[in-house]
A and B are shown apart, each in its own frame.
Chain A
Amino acid sequence: MAKVLVLDSERCLGCKLCEIVCSVKKERVSDPSRSRIRVLRWERGQEALPVFCQHCEEPLCALVCPVDAIKREESTGLVVPDREICVGCGGCVSICPMLGAGFDNREHKALRCDLCQGDPACVKCCPTGALRYVDSDQSQIDRKRAAARKLYLR
């Protein structure tokens, strides 16, 4: 069963540790601007929302990529851009409805979460458990439960 990265936004503190951890793991330096996960913060409302690639069934980024650099990997089912082919136009960043497409401003290449080959570093370091790595069907059930609880239970 495929596993997915899921977010419980109500648990997120907005500490941005996941950004730092991601860049250290992937780029070997602490540089949030090159992180595959980004935390959007609204300081006044004390709200934070981490965004990352959802590996959509019909990825718009693959559709708009002018050089066909973005493909679904057969083995993992993940949507990953090919760094060699990528021309750095940033089209995927603009089109992504989930704000999950990243961009390396140094080398001008697309960045995408690849779930650390099945061992996501951000999950291990999240202090509140807002990020979890679970089976995708389990995630669906959890979400439905959470939604139902809000609607029907007090």
Chain B
Amino acid sequence: MALGRKAVFVDLGSGSIQVKEIPRPLRETFLGGRGIGMRLLYSLLEPRLDPDGPGDRLIFSAGLLAGTPAPLAAGAIDVGGKSPVTGLADNLLLGGFFGAELRFAGFDLLVLSGKSEEPVYLRVYNGNIEILDAAPLVQADPLETHAIIREILGEENVQVISARVLGRDASLRAEMRTDAGNGLKISDLGLLMTSKNLKAVAVRGTLPIEIEDPEGALRHLGALTLLSPSEQEVVPSKRDLLQAVYEDECLQALTDSLGIATSSAEFLSPRVPYWKVCSLLVEAVTGLRISSSELMRAGRRIVNLEQLFNIREGFTGIGTRRFMKGFLETPESTPLKESEWELYCELHGWDRQGKPTSETLIGLGLDEQPDRFFPE
């Protein structure tokens, strides 16, 4: 089963390693990747936790379709955590093959807590996890780090994520990268990773992934490959612009959770049923029957949970990162008008403080106090 992969919880402080099953209901509601990462962040982190302390978790989460017949092998990996800079929930999707390789190694989730005394790196290989001394990597730049790890492990096909601080001040900026060219990003989560004294994570696996319906999966993938990106995007009007931002946010959460990278114009193009095929592909690969509208709902659910997390941290009146960064920085939308903010909240089903209304939460199944998956 593609869903048979496990979650591993590593405490870098004490060196304890626990392996747990990923419950099926968690899969059905939060899919994988960013969704499950966000869900875990919400349930594992104490409210208003000090992100510089050992309690903050760094979560590597492979997409629901990782390592299966999905666009670009769904090889991207989603990294999540509470940003030590802003205190908000943060995530980034790194391209490459790391997500797929993690699944071939037998895991879907790496949840790292604690801080190591000495610089270390993590090695994951076919169901085994080791914490190794990173002394040989301390002076190396990221690509050297990757090369040195390949040399030490004697394994060319190992996939590596490494982090390093940029500049002298270790509290300002850091980058994270996988091997692929598009897998380099400057992110607060890089700081989180370096603050744990974790230099790199190296994974390699050869465990086969069962596919529910192999022929069906290949057929749907073929259909997705044939669909061409829409030639031109229509420039939206003001009302449509906010609508587009809203749809884009939910969609981004969805594709980050599936592990596929696609532009929203392509995904939602009315000419091609990309998102409908996606639902068929999910069923053929995993056996989970999730309709296309249910998939979109999962995207909204993830965005709303992130919003709940940020509200719990004491932030009100803020939108998602996509909104704050993408929309607010366009010249025509600064300063943000009251009416636009209201419309944005209305689209999301939030009140004027940016807090999801109870109808919204009930509609998304987020109304109960979310019980803790993976009890300690």
Contacts and interface: CB of A to CB of B under 8 A. Distances in A.
A33 interface: yes
Interface string B209-225: 11100100110011001
A46 B73 contact: no
A107 B181 CA distance: 36
Contact of A43 (B75, B104, B179): B179
B209 A29 contact: yes
A34 to B, nearest CB: 8
Interface stretch (B63-71, B110-118, B335-343, B356-364): B63-71
Interface residues of A, number: 28
A30 B208 contact: yes
Contacts of B104: 31-32
Contact of B208 (A31, A124, A125): A31
A15 B206 contact: no
Interface in A1-43: 13-17, 20-21, 23-25, 27-34, 41, 43
B100 interface: yes
A123 B72 CA distance: 13
A13 B72 contact: yes
Nearest to B159: A43
B97 A29 contact: no
Nearest to A126: B225
A138 B217 CA distance: 31
A45 B98 CA distance: 18
Given A17-B73, A31-B209, A125 B225 contact: yes
B67 A43 contact: no
Given A126-B225, A127-B72, A21 B211 contact: no
B68 A127 contact: no
Nearest to A124: B222
Contacts of A20: 67-69, 73, 100
Contact of B97 (A15, A28, A33, A105): A15
Given A33-B206, A44-B147, A125 B72 contact: no
Most chain B CB within a 10 A radius of its CB, from A17, A30, A33, A46: A30
A15 B225 contact: no
B180 interface: yes
Contacts of B135: none
B71 A127 contact: yes
A121 interface: yes
A129 to B, nearest CB: 10
Most chain B CB within a 10 A radius of its CB, from A17, A23, A46: A17
A15 B211 contact: no
A15 B75 contact: yes
Contacts of B208: 23, 27, 29-31, 34
Interface string B162-185: 000000000000000001110000
B26 interface: no
Contacts of A21: 69, 218, 221
B206 A31 contact: yes
Contact of A30 (B180, B211, B222): B211
A26 to B, nearest CB: 9
Interface string B1-30: 010000000000000000000000000000
B146 interface: yes
B97 A125 contact: no
Contact of A29 (B75, B157, B179, B211): B211
Contacts of B210: 29-30
Contacts of B67: 20, 30
A46 B218 contact: no
B138 interface: no
B179 A24 contact: no
A43 B180 contact: yes
Interface in B321-348: none
A16 to B, nearest CB: 6
Most chain B CB within a 10 A radius of its CB, from A15, A20, A41, A125: A20
Given A16-B100, A29-B210, A30-B211, A24 B73 contact: no
Contact of A44 (B143, B221, B222): B143
29 contacts: A15-B75, A16-B75, A16-B97, A17-B69, A17-B72, A17-B73, A20-B68, A20-B73, A20-B100, A21-B69, A24-B214, A24-B217, A27-B208, A28-B211, A29-B209, A29-B210, A30-B67, A30-B210, A30-B211, A31-B206, A31-B208, A43-B143, A43-B179, A43-B180, A44-B147, A124-B222, A125-B69, A125-B218, A127-B71
Interface of A: 13-17, 20-21, 23-25, 27-34, 41, 43-44, 46, 105, 121, 124-127
Interface of B: 2, 67-69, 71-73, 75, 97, 100, 104, 143, 146-147, 157, 179-181, 206, 208-211, 214, 217-218, 221-222, 225
Pairs A-B, 10 closest by C-beta atoms:
A31-B208, A43-B179, A30-B209, A29-B208, A124-B222, A17-B73, A15-B72, A28-B214, A24-B214, A33-B206
